[in-house]
Chains A and B, each alone.
Chain A
């Protein structure tokens, strides 16, 4: 178990180093050199040369890369070029991240329990109308991209019924949070219900559940004592992936609803070709992804004796 943890932990910095290298490499050979983006209309060979010297862009690849890594390690992600000129990317991220975290936290708190419950009930009564309904609805909901669902919900609830605001952000406990949280948690519910159903069904058909029933245990005790734990173990991975995809998952939702979180920042930066921001968000998203998976792996070890004892 210890060597397993250590191995997982060591992989994290390696992964990050590679990530940073790839993003830097793509940025280095990218189109529209930074000085072009920076100077815009004022571009001339003279000003360009000045900027290049000022920013160290005339140095060789490896020198620039070394400085870049040092900056990243000390949480200096550079400055925004075009969208918020001169503002440190780190400050922008720090301002935007809490909103995205709140949004995701609310969606997870709502989506995971509901998804688990629906999936477990569907599996237990598999073949029933409830099960068919759950399968159909979850397949259907998963097939609707946010880009389709968002405007339609806005049309119904904001334009026609005038029940909810058309967007913006007044905090997580305001009506402005209802639609985005609904969209995010619907995705979680659909995904979790489907996966839980498959896992529970698997476990229900297992030999050890038959053993438990042969002992004369009541169905409730079979479910709580034998099925649940085994069915939940694979869901940890799914949960890790889900958290890991958080930054990207909110990109479209936040943009459609005009919520000033990380997702909207990414959208703005992409449209403005503001590379320092895009790169920082990419690396951050990768860190979140790697951390959630590390967490999931460690949690696996805690809950599953087969891993714990090796």
Chain B
């Protein structure tokens, strides 16, 4: 061993390579900015997201309204800021839930194989075959009202009114169509890892199934999962946009970028209003790009000898 070589761990190597990846670091900056804006939104906004300024309708950028107002006289700047919260929620809740479901079922299928594997993978196939947007629409149309009623009956009327139920149902539906992909990935990793020597060694000394799966295999299987999840965040945010367009995304008045773009997309016809469409569009694309770059950066940092 070279005497002067400083000790290198896998983590520090990965972090090193990641920090040298310019797009990925820019992605981190954008993502951090997004979460900061989401947390401090109440301090940053100049108006409520639904407040209407009838004196300044379609105002264009002026002192009271940095980004101008829309046809209803709502402050676009404040709406964009409030909408950051929705995006931040999507970016955490959907991947986290998909991750939990995907890892759990993927692990079961890959470790136990046999009929457990068959059932889980077939259920995944079915969810996979459903057209995702239409499926989420169905859930939103059929299950959401029932959940809302239920929440109201247990006395959380305020909670329901604020649209949190909306968030939870829509995000859960997105996660429901999102987990089979991850489960497949985890299963594949488990299938290749479960016959490796270190697992056989653990089994030979009588380690329990669960302990082997969680302590020995899972950490080794996580690399591609981390990459898929971080890359999938952008996809979840984009999916919310499409759902908003179908009118089943986050319900007004709580704004989301997708909702704003859906509201404003007709503005492409009017020269004075179309910047209103452009602002949430640019922010949305920047955030999706940021998470894509982070995902790609992780992928390259974790697989240094790929290219």
Contacts and interface: CB of A to CB of B under 8 A. Distances in A.
Contacts of B258: 147
Contact of B138 (A154, A155, A282): A282
Interface in A203-238: none
Contact of B285 (A27, A144, A201): A144
A266 interface: yes
A148 B269 CA distance: 14
B126 A139 contact: no
A18 B285 contact: no
B133 A251 contact: yes
Interface string A46-64: 0000000000000000000
Interface string B217-257: 00000000000000000100010011001111000000000
B131 A148 contact: no
B247 A271 contact: yes
Contacts of A245: 131
A41 to B, nearest CB: 21
A278 B129 contact: no
A84 interface: no
A155 B268 contact: yes
Contact of B262 (A18, A27, A147, A248): A147
Contacts of B143: 26
B126 A143 contact: no
A293 B130 CA distance: 13
Contacts of B234: 143
Interface residues of A, number: 50
Contact of A155 (B126, B261, B274): B274
Contacts of B268: 151-152, 154-155, 159
Interface in A239-258: 244-245, 247-248, 251-252, 255-256
B296 A139 contact: yes
B131 A145 contact: no
Contact of B292 (A143, A148, A285, A289): A143
Interface in A9-23: 11, 15, 18-19, 22-23
A81 interface: no
A270 B246 contact: yes
Contact of A266 (B126, B132, B134, B247): B134
A227 to B, nearest CB: 16
Contact of A147 (B129, B145, B265): B265
Contact of A29 (B131, B142, B267, B289): B142
B134 A148 contact: no
A96 interface: no
A162 interface: no
A142 interface: yes
A144 B306 CA distance: 27
A289 B305 CA distance: 35
A83 to B, nearest CB: 14
A245 B246 CA distance: 17
Contact of B141 (A31, A166, A293): A31
A159 B129 contact: no
Instruction: Report the contact-size class of chain B (Cβ under 8 Å from the partner).
Output: 35 or more
Contacts of A11: 125
A290 interface: yes
A127 interface: yes
A148 B137 contact: no
Contacts of A267: 246
A152 B277 CA distance: 9
B129 A248 contact: no
B199 to A, nearest CB: 26
Contact of A139 (B238, B277, B293): B293
A120 B145 CA distance: 50
Contacts of B246: 251, 267, 270-271
A282 B135 CA distance: 8
Contacts of A247: 131
Interface in B10-32: none
A126 B307 contact: yes
A3 to B, nearest CB: 16
A155 B268 CA distance: 5
Contacts of A26: 138-139, 142-143
Interface of B: 125-126, 128-135, 137-139, 141-143, 145-146, 234, 238, 241-242, 245-248, 258, 261-262, 265, 267-269, 271, 274, 277-278, 281, 284-285, 288-289, 292-293, 296, 306-307
- Top 9 A-B pairs ranked by shortest CB distance? A30-B142, A285-B131, A151-B268, A148-B281, A248-B131, A155-B268, A143-B288, A143-B289, A31-B145
23 contacts: A15-B126, A15-B129, A29-B142, A29-B146, A30-B138, A31-B142, A147-B241, A147-B242, A147-B265, A148-B284, A151-B265, A152-B268, A159-B268, A201-B307, A245-B131, A251-B133, A251-B246, A252-B242, A270-B137, A282-B131, A282-B135, A285-B134, A286-B129
